[in-house]
Structure 1
Amino acid sequence: MKIEPHTEYALVLERKETIADGVVRLTLRHPDGRPLPPWEPGAHLDLVLTDGLTRQYSLCGDPQDRSVLQVAVLWEETGRGGSRHVHDLLAEGQEVRVRGPRNHFPLTEAKRYLFIAGGIGITPILPMLDRVAASGQDWQLVYGGRTRSSMAFREELEARYPGHVEIHPQDERGLLDLPALLASPEDGTAIYCCGPEALLAAVEQHCTDWSADALHVERFAPKAGADDGPREAFEVELAQSGTVLEVPAGRSILDVVEEAGVVVLSSCQEGTCGTCETAVLAGKPDHRDSVLTGEEQEVGDAMMICVSRSCSPRLVLDL
């Protein structure tokens, strides 16, 4: 099934099951039983829930099983409506519009792996564990959550990977001991972390002595201070038409180009999902996203136009 990452298509919700307190797993299948698009550990799927309500959820199934795609969704009382829609309105047998899979959190080659997951942040890490365990490489998972009953896939992980998994319920053991876990930088070790922003920020703080490419994170919300900085007007040139538009201080590039009639796929509007990633042909972006790595931002050949701005008077974009 050849589908481009931004193409929208329909799947059927085959199964919806509660797998932990406040967490449901969705199993999606093609209505005609066709094989689904290939994907790699770390990928996510866009669920187009309604017009104007699209959310990204990490794939947590088996990449080798092309018959289904699986995501797990946490109920968020103070969320923006995606989890409420999934938990309260989606029913088995219903058609679900999706886009993807797409991957901004790929598994890289390393001698050893340390996985740190917080709550629902376990989902993108699950297929990574299968891949690394099958390779025979050394690895460890430290998995924290509020309570044992809230930690999705906990029992499966303990049974499947004895000796490799440390379960850390906060109500029993307190917060993860990150200072001890990350005290000594290890050459050749890749750290993969996903979870609440407080966990990611703390892990980043404790990894300052590690090599620049050791830590890999995926965020569900913008990192602290991501959108800080001056907000000055600048111009964008749309290379495909030659149109030049002014982006005022109080508006985003995305707003301005959409107002000009250019169709750009977008979703989160906060620089976390990667949907609006746009190629930069000239100029220097002022990156304010939480998706691109520091190295990718330094290269400057792509940007998230929902939040990022410009360090140069004009940007030339491949739009």
Structure 2
Amino acid sequence: MESEAGEPSYGVLKLQSPAPSTGVAEAENTFSFSNPVYSPTATAPVPLVSPPPSVSEPSASPSAILRTPRPSYKVEDVVFESPERPTSWRNFKRGVLSRWAVARAIYPYMVSIGLVYFTTLSLYPGIASEVPSCRLGSWMPIVLMSAFNFFDFIGKIAAAWPYEWSRSQLLMASGVRLLLVPLMLLCAAPRHSPHIVGDVYPIMFSVVLGFTNGLFGSIPMIMAPSRVGREHREIAGNMMTLSYNGGLLSGSLVSYLLLSMLGEPADMCRIYPTPVLPTIPPVPTHNGNASLMLPAMH
């Protein structure tokens, strides 16, 4: 119900079938549930007079309909909750405790999705854009990012495959995926001469990174709400989003650290000048006699 101050309040609502009234004066003066002022569906009281003798039983039905008891409503008690600080603190504490209970039930999925996005943001797009290629040149980062996004899309579709992943499998897959960080890093470090040389290896690592990101980034988010009750599913989604954002933040910080360790870009594809080939000077003629000169080396 709405109070005069415009703030919502709460009350106890009672339902009662009123007893038949005996007259207009009693209906107006009696403070009871049968008073029409408390009933939104009741009509004005009508004097209960006996029908004329000539009126048959079916003709008396309108008066009988008016005398039919209807449920009446009356607010008996009103409970006010003042928005004070203790109430707000109590609600905050209740929310923290409920989220802690949900986190204890779904923590493997929270750790799994956090590790997945930590690995992804550590490499993509920071390290992936720094992998050099003498053959592709400036197209190398574009190829790596295109491969990542395409196979990430395929991994998200593959997450709909009806397979029941266990919590240990998800944690193991997310942990093994961390090996992609040093492998991709060795394709770009050191700047002047990377340890893993070639265009095939970074493209292959980018494909694996994208597919596993789509697959193991979607499965924990799908499975976690089903591990709690229906009333806690929204909280489970909230906690999964918190782990997701934690993985994004920590992975971005690690990516900045790795880029600072790489240092300034270096030109690893040096173009050496073409050596000058030996030439044979023209043979001069003196009085018809040709003199042969040896080729000069420059």
> What's the TM-score bracket when you normalise by the shorter of the two chains?
under 0.3
Larger % of strand: which? 1
Higher relative contact order (CA 8 A, sep 6+): 2
Q: Which has the larger radius of gyration?
A: 2
TM-score (norm 2): 0.18
